[in-house]
Structure 1
Amino acid sequence: MIQINNLSKKYKNADAYSVHNIDLVIEEGEIFGLLGPNGAGKTTLISMLSSLLKPSSGSFSINGLDYRSNRNGLKQHIGIVPQEYALYPTLTAFENLSYFGGMYGLKGKSLTDGIENNLEILGLSDFANKKIKTFSGGMKRRINLIAGILHNPKVLFLDEPTVGVDVQSKNAIIEHLLTLNTGGTTIFYTSHHLNEAEHFCTRVAIIDNGELIVIGRPKSLINDQKGATNLEDVFLNHTGKALRDHA
């Protein structure tokens, strides 16, 4: 579903590459987790794959469409749920979702039904006509997710989709994502929640300093690491325990 070849990104005036020579294949139906410290290159990579950021070199394709020659067509196949809330605070939940659904060409009954169905699944039906600025963090996260999946994308990019939310909201988001994946959506996910990634992802990769260090199924990576009992042990072994403050 996703084919990445020697993909790199170096920002203007930067001393080093943020992402360097990434080669990666993600199969259809995978839940693929990209893990790494602050500043490791996770958001840069996901931004390039979402066509939000132009690569410095290399190439990638999604569902057989090369980004250089089929950028507009590629965008119709993907959904994006960014780390920051991509919502208009003075509009209601329904108005926000109507706007984002319209951007993907949805309209009429199909759009309304899609909004209402997702709001119900994620426990937000009673708040459809409330302004986003009145919502809690967990509620905003759930609306943020709906905005990225209304058009039923083949590939869903998630950048820290459960950061800063309560346990109930986190559970609702993960359950809905698993349902989407069962229905055929390939998921590309970044997170600092290693326990969540260990149980959620079918395969994970650890990235540091813009380069992929290790890749595999969570259980296999844990079993292959001497003394490791969980994915956090594997992560720290490959990235070290030094603080990674990043501005």
Structure 2
Amino acid sequence: MPAIEVVDLTKTYGDLRAVDGVTLEVAEGEFVGVLGPNGAGKTTLLEMVEGLRRPDSGSATVLGLPAWPRNPALLPRIGVQLQASSFFERLTAREQIRTFAALYGVPARAADDWLEQVGLVDKADTRVEDLSGGQAQRLSIACALVHDPELVFLDEPTASLDPQARRNLWDLLSGINEAGRTVVLTTHHMDEAEALCDRVAIMDAGRVLRLDTPAALVRGLDAATRITLADGEVLTTRDPAAELARLAGAGRLDGVQVQTGTLEDVFLQLTGREYRA
């Protein structure tokens, strides 16, 4: 049984088809990214799968149960980190996560353990309004995980973070998945999807254009590989293995850089236009 099964899911707002007949499956234990620019329909799609928004048509099944009408039996089994973090005012990080834990009947000790797992022990007595952006995002994720859900939804968890904070958060997200949880991540960062996800759904204008592993998506490109030599010479080839073997035979591999296709190239090929963040 898949962790998530979405069939022909649609949501419209007036003339705008925010989600336009999306069908996809997420396997148990999989880390799937939904990649696309702002306005692609990623958040609307997740909100329908989470049971937060009613679809106009189609269906979403989560852990074998229908997502809509919102199913109370699913709530203890899923964790949701929304795009904008919302915390109780004037509470410290420790008080926040203990409050979330109490809603699920989770003891305070388990809540405190999550502060340690996300690296916020030294900020436990800091009010949330005084946390940095990266610290607030880690606390938000900890609150979504405090009840040990089977399935976790993360909506652009690294949005607005600096590059170092983003990469620190990547380690946390990888650990969440390696612990056995199914993770669905929306992002508009190509490198993030490539680094973290088992499979990536490229989404634009409310539709899933392609769903596959990052490597398979890139392999499907009809694009040449660029090889830059130490002296600055640039070679382009559609048979990089043979070209590198030739360079090795000539003793010219030192300092060689090889640039293959990327998910951004895939997006450009699928949509016919530059990627919009």
TM-score normalised by structure 1 residue count: 0.90
Aligned to 2:269: 237
- The Cα shift of 1:239 comes to 2.8
Within 5 Å, which residues of 2 pair with 1:25-174?
25-68=25-68, 71-106=71-106, 111-174=107-170
- The Cα shift of 1:244 comes to 5.4
| Range 86-95 or range 146-155, more displaced | 86-95
- The Cα shift of 1:70 comes to 6.9
Instruction: Tell me the C-alpha RMSD between the 2 structures.
Output: 1.8
| Range 235-244 or range 60-69, more displaced | 235-244
- The Cα shift of 1:114 comes to 2.3
| Equivalent position SS for 1:156 | strand
Unpaired segments of 5 or more residues in structure 2? Answer: 224-259
Aligned to 1:189: 185
Between the aligned partners of 2:273 and 2:38, the Cα distance in structure 1 is 12
Aligned to 2:20: 20
Rate the CA distance shift 1:68–1:84 in 2: closer, same or farther, 3 A: closer
Contact 2:101/2:108, CA 8 A, preserved across alignment = no
Write the letter of the residue equivalent to 2:7.
Answer: N
Aligned to 2:255: none
- 1:92-134 Cα offsets, whole Å, 9 max, x none, are 111111222222232xxxx322222221222210111111111
Between the aligned partners of 2:57 and 2:264, the Cα distance in structure 1 is 32
Between the aligned partners of 1:120 and 1:168, the Cα distance in structure 2 is 20
Structure 1 residue 225 and structure 2 residue 227: aligned?
A: no
Write the letter of the residue equivalent to 1:238.
Answer: L
| Equivalent position SS for 2:72 | helix
| Equivalent position SS for 1:76 | helix
- The Cα shift of 1:54 comes to 0.9
Q: Deviating runs (4+, > 4 A) in structure 1?
A: 242-245
Between the aligned partners of 2:70 and 2:188, the Cα distance in structure 1 is 32
- 1:134-176 Cα offsets, whole Å, 9 max, x none, are 1111111111111111111111101111112234432332222
Between the aligned partners of 1:170 and 1:213, the Cα distance in structure 2 is 26
| Equivalent position SS for 2:208 | strand
Write the letter of the residue equivalent to 1:92.
Answer: T
Aligned pair count reads: 239
Between the aligned partners of 2:272 and 2:86, the Cα distance in structure 1 is 33
Write the letter of the residue equivalent to 1:64.
Answer: G
Rate the CA distance shift 1:184–1:168 in 2: closer, same or farther, 3 A: same
Rate the CA distance shift 1:242–1:69 in 2: closer, same or farther, 3 A: closer
Unpaired segments of 5 or more residues in structure 1? Answer: none
Q: Which has the larger radius of gyration?
A: 2
- The Cα shift of 1:69 comes to 6.3
Contact 1:141/1:165, CA 8 A, preserved across alignment = no
- The Cα shift of 1:178 comes to 1.6
- The Cα shift of 1:240 comes to 3.8
